[in-house]
Structure 1
Amino acid sequence: MNLRPLSTIAVEVIAALLNRGFADYLVPLRFDAAAVQAMERQDQVDLDASWLLHDGREHLGVLLIARRGFHSRVAGMCLVPEARGRGLGRHLLDTAIHSARERGDTHLHLEVIDQNKTALRLYQRSGFKRVRQLLGYSAAPVDATAPEADDISVHPLTTYIETARQHEWSNLPWQISAPTLAALDVNQHTTLRVGSLLALVRNLPNQIKILRALLPLNTSEPSAADLRALRDRHPAATWRAPALFPVEWQPAFTAAGLTPDDLTQSQLTLEL
């Protein structure tokens, strides 16, 4: 088996291979060249440190590695269906670990869907330890007559980033940490301050609000009352939050009327 840096491969080829590898994944994923370039920009995916697996005739798999300081993250790993069951997933993961150690990285991170038992076993057998479970949520529109909180203020994306750099947890999931969020489109995201909570919201058409990140300012957990006030500000909206929020925050989410999704993730870390 051979490995080539993804920086030597056209982004259209990378996207097509990711689509093949994730075609039967637990959640729908679709890639194009723009999506691959967005992962470079937002998640700090380093194509020089990422790999294409091939056997000299066919492309068999992809390993995407994000880098930030002395920390790396497995941002995506997949094999085409016909390459599975041959130990190649272990080969790719061993490559990620070995390369990270050669670079002098101190930690390798990833998130894995808990229902993906095969992948979870692979990571744990390779020494990854669970940091915490991560949950996602959804909520239907609320009563439009609910009184709107009078302490909600609207700010740009930069307000969230600047505050998060000072106050956020050091081991939050990579995708909702300040360095990742700083690369988001400022025109598509809004920071809302609700009481002692900062919420980063992406606005989509058709009254859909994506809760991208939360930052409790005075406590370790968000306030249920602040989350409820956030929903009440947009009573006609359907809310969605990806499975990236620490399980410790679940009581506040559920008390605010948001329902946990069935699919959950585990945040894993390997100390190198």
Structure 2
Amino acid sequence: MKLLLLAGTSEARKLAISLADEPRIKVIASLAGVTREPLDLPVPMRKGGFGGRAAFREYLRDQAFDAVVDGTHPFAAKISKRCCEVAREMDLPHLQILRPEWQPEAGDLWTFIADESKAAGHIPQGATVFLATGRQTLHRFGNMTGRKLICRQIDSSEGEFPFEGGEYLIGRPPFSIEEEVELFTRRKVDWLVVKNAGGMLSRSKLVAARQLRIPVLLINRPPVLECARVETAEAALDWVRGLL
């Protein structure tokens, strides 16, 4: 069986590792190319987009894939939607790995918002805001004038920060709770903004915010797709093996 794995998450990485020594399954892992130097996977990899819906469909057909697993980021809405629809059109078995959302615990100061543009309505002028949302959606914070924005990203930026008074902070996760507490304290962070991506590896910033009593804005996820779905790499592995 030949499987296309749309990767980019820790769950997809775990699945790739589990399938690397499976002789009955040939896996091709695809990375969108958002990160310039992603970690290697133990299976053949391709990097970069497909060039649109028609090109994705052609790739699936020409490469004779038997199934597709979508292990992309919970906020990769366009990619996931296209994958789901094209797989349905081609009658290919398709599965999405979607880890659970974060849920608030005692002591958390969380507010849920629909999208990045709503942050300005909650964060006062003069605040130092830590954006753990990535550079791809940074432009959506254009109405945050009067606040100091710190945007953390994995790769260095090729241009200047798009908003006055803001800056990029380069760092590759995961980060420990202690590291996040030290960073937020040193940079005098007043607010934290994150996407509700879920997952244990990146939850440390939320725990640090709880300890420091920093209020957090969580951006809600895109609508859930109507497709087969599991929450873990282990469940995805069972699904793939069930196709044999």
Bin for the TM-score computed over the shorter chain = 0.3 to 0.5
TM-score, normalising length: structure 1: 0.32
